[in-house]
Structure 1
């Protein structure tokens, strides 16, 4: 039994009735640890099979874990929902102060149900829950401005998180995100649209609860071991120095950097958008999530002259990482850093997922090149690679959706390609736009069969680099490796650990940290929990219409050489068939 009884509290909020209740759910946390494990079970309980993702029946689940606010780099909150982007399992992780805010407010999980009939935001300050009118901040151009207004009117500074949506979420763009603490996001799969469908502009959480530790000596010993490993790790130093943007040049050198909608996997101008270039010419500051000693968040200070005002500069602070650089840089054939930063800033202002936006713009650019769409569809805009001025003009059109073309783009690449053609270069997996890795079959298979269709599900790109470049493996061996890794990651995301620290939180350390928190498990029990959570997620997916037979495999991945050469289509399809059988066996 966990020492902290607040961890097993679930706060249920009904937006329709403006009511709340608190329940103790120790059986959930003792069986599924927290985070992803608990959130999956709560989603199963609250989300009916026929649920429209934008209906009031779609719940929002948020959960943290037993290591949150206790150990370093246990800094994430898990959000679960039915995705309006894929029509299936939605899961997104966010750092910042979100995890400690929810934990110190006295809860292990939050369930938001129903929908308000007018714009509101919900303020949770410990056991005080307030439903507040948000009409004056609904429709604001910038979600940053809305965040500042809420910040100035709510208590709890220091241990407070402010989660809010922009106009993308308000207008239910299917890949709208939720922004927290300005530079962190529940990014993928459209949580922002679910907020918007509920007229929920923002969620404010703060608290001052303390977390009991029964054996302080054991706690200090385990804490010190984790902390020292983190600050002395070469991998963590890389994340501190250059951030994930460090990946640009190595991936480009290997031939794994998707460029111009994956027409090629090397970008001749990669050095101009590299982590080294950003650090040298644009780095303004580094930030860290709460309880993290690494500081991987890199913020560019971008100065530009005010129009018609010589010598008067506006400085914008814009976060950058590898995925945005890939999505808005190489994927669009763009190397103009000021143009990239302006586009990135505009996407942040309206609150959209930058990865989806980049892949959508890349598909649209190629579709325009091939004549599948014209200025008639684009409202007079001529798309070409690296044209940031035109891309900037498209962002408000994704929000306002003035014609059928932009209505389709606001639902993602699959929706647009289904209507206008170009399915062979529509780079989506399970309905989710591809991440920035063209390393070989492991990466793409990982996107395809991962429960979230994300590179972080199972790190297939790592298998491509560490295994496939050295030896041949069979389709079955590749699938087994991906599933095994994803099952273990269910434990990390139930604790909830930032995946950057997966090399630190190995099974022995995880077991020691859990014992300090009050849960005594064996390695076999831990592995079984990971398998059970993985199976539960797939059961949810199938219950809500997921079918391997309907999975779209973009032909482009078999045409462009990767670091492992051309991806063999026969090998890949054999792996998909094996994955279907294997996963079917696991969930029986």
Structure 2
């Protein structure tokens, strides 16, 4: 006899529960990258062996989307623990995302590497054509390792990978000239990008940048120096592949929606009309503009070098990154007379933004717009990071004033606020490093102040020089706890202006707000969305766009992925020896008032401690488990 057992009504239906679980597993197993989409193809290049291979890394792209999420995983895989950043095995990773080449403003390329400037995570984003070129060449990421015995540049024309001799380009003073020569010798159909270094990268200045399309940069943390250590002068990528979508009619509908939102947005109109330089006067009026090494937060001559003034007197043209309708890149046209010719001029086209104006203008007390543009032009030509260079020169000027360094150290240069001609010569010496003082400056203010003193006014956070904001506690806590110690990690300055001005947050609440913002920015940088478009790509819009590229995700998935990417970045930093216990907070930030008043050191330290407990202690390797973590 068989007994029929009847499940009590109060007990959950286990069969249905298992069915739901199986459906969830099945959904997780579904490929998220569309067939014939080359996003999951990763090109691995070995400069030492002059060899390459392509691997399908769907495992990474389906889990971490692309960009920053995939980039940090590739960095962890390829970068041996504890290596010197100039070791040939330090990888250069370029990664793009599924929205790249399909939607407006998905125009950034994410670079990941071990930073020679900080010794920890190196991450830099650049616009221009690089992201679309990599995507249309048929790749979602490039991984470059090894070191060439002689200078080379890579020419990647879709599946044709070429190692070109760059001996004739090595040592050229201007990276603009390098770009022109490569462009003329590498004709290609479709979309093309040329990412190259200047002389600063060859000389291993730890904050040398990589220039792309002449006016965009992988600016911070020293990617240019990693290029230089590998004898890699440039990377050219070209391609003309078509990228599929899941539903063409829905794709066109969403594209038009995003396009019109971008061009009709008042914020985007501001970026088009004046660019980020529009922020100079408002921030100065607030009293949040770092001036003369933050001796004050107001610059008396801000109007002369404001976005309005430069646009009115020098604006030559506007440019846009690929697939961007905004055109926020502003180029100044500066006529400069030849020294030995009468009535003969050359016209320099100089890209300007808020950050270079801050770093090479207000931070150095430079009020002459022509002089400022000349200084920018030289820094750009040598491919130094403008922001770091300005902060370094500001520290050096104050150290010179206080007698910590002498004319012997500066090789006869009398560093003085506003003297742009002397700053041009000093920047050249930083690039060339003719003595110990300039060699120290070529490694940043953290290193230089450890030798010559003046650490109280050496304005760096986690060894990365400060950005152009002194708006309140949010900006400096954001610098301290951000994965890159960058103002763009979590926009602490925005928290100061939008939240703290209305409501007094506790240190813990401030740290939590910054962490939440940084988690969402991991999603944006994995999609390689320009941060200017963060108000357009809301979670809802982002999910609609992802669905059209094959990614079936929910809002909670984005939250989870963003949190995990941020933790992975911090795991890498901890693995490489980072500790907030060793991070110096410059005393100068407590001496100069902000728009929200004098900063409280105890408040800053409590916020940092809260972040440490919530993030760093959770990602730290288990005791005795270093080998496991490394594996």
TM-score, scaled to structure 1: 0.99
What does residue 604 of structure 2 align with? 572
**What per-residue deviation string (whole Å, max 9, x for no partner) do you get for residues 130-187 of structure 1?**
0010000000111111111100000225510001001100011000000000000000
Q: Give the Cα–Cα distance (whole angstroms) in 2 for the partners of residues 572 and 178 of structure 1.
A: 34
User: Which of 495, 500, 513 in structure 2 is aligned with 1:463?
Assistant: 495
1:360 corresponds to 2:396: no
The structure having more radius of gyration, on CA atoms, is 2
What does residue 33 of structure 2 align with? 2
What displacement does 1:220 show?
1.1
1:339 corresponds to 2:358: no
What displacement does 1:585 show?
5.1
Q: Give the Cα–Cα distance (whole angstroms) in 1 for the partners of residues 437 and 522 of structure 2.
A: 38
More divergent stretch after superposition (159-168 vs 390-399): 390-399
1:326 corresponds to 2:358: yes
What does residue 185 of structure 1 align with? 217
Classify 1:355/1:157 alpha carbon distance in 2 versus 1 (closer, same or farther; 3 Å): farther
- Paired residues for 1:129-140 under 5 Å: 129-140=161-172
What does residue 467 of structure 2 align with? 435
Classify 1:47/1:341 alpha carbon distance in 2 versus 1 (closer, same or farther; 3 Å): same
What does residue 27 of structure 1 align with? 59
What displacement does 1:458 show?
0.2
Q: Which runs of 4+ in 1 moved over 4 A?
A: none
What does residue 290 of structure 1 align with? 322
User: Which of 432, 444, 462 in structure 1 is aligned with 2:476?
Assistant: 444
Q: Once superposed, what is the RMSD of the aligned Cα atoms? A: 0.9
Q: Give the Cα–Cα distance (whole angstroms) in 2 for the partners of residues 24 and 251 of structure 1.
A: 47
SS of residue paired to 2:281: helix
SS of residue paired to 1:490: helix
Classify 1:543/1:585 alpha carbon distance in 2 versus 1 (closer, same or farther; 3 Å): closer
What does residue 252 of structure 1 align with? 284
Structure 2 segments unaligned to the other structure (5+ residues)? 1-31, 621-631
Q: Give the Cα–Cα distance (whole angstroms) in 2 for the partners of residues 453 and 258 of structure 1.
A: 17
Q: Give the Cα–Cα distance (whole angstroms) in 2 for the partners of residues 586 and 253 of structure 1.
A: 41
Check conservation: 2:115, 2:222, Cα contact below 8 A.
Answer: yes
SS of residue paired to 1:323: helix
What does residue 11 of structure 2 align with? none
SS of residue paired to 1:219: helix
Q: Give the Cα–Cα distance (whole angstroms) in 2 for the partners of residues 213 and 512 of structure 1.
A: 12
SS of residue paired to 1:470: coil
What displacement does 1:214 show?
2.9
- Paired residues for 1:475-514 under 5 Å: 475-514=507-546
Check conservation: 2:41, 2:54, Cα contact below 8 A.
Answer: yes
Q: Give the Cα–Cα distance (whole angstroms) in 2 for the partners of residues 374 and 471 of structure 1.
A: 47
Q: Give the Cα–Cα distance (whole angstroms) in 2 for the partners of residues 576 and 308 of structure 1.
A: 56
SS of residue paired to 2:490: coil
What displacement does 1:399 show?
1.7
What displacement does 1:225 show?
1.4
User: Which of 387, 392, 395 in structure 1 is aligned with 2:419?
Assistant: 387
User: Which of 229, 237, 240 in structure 2 is aligned with 1:205?
Assistant: 237
What displacement does 1:218 show?
1.1
Q: Give the Cα–Cα distance (whole angstroms) in 1 for the partners of residues 456 and 339 of structure 2.
A: 43
SS of residue paired to 1:10: strand
Structure 1 segments unaligned to the other structure (5+ residues)? none
Check conservation: 2:37, 2:244, Cα contact below 8 A.
Answer: no
More divergent stretch after superposition (359-368 vs 220-229): 220-229
TM-score, scaled to structure 2: 0.92
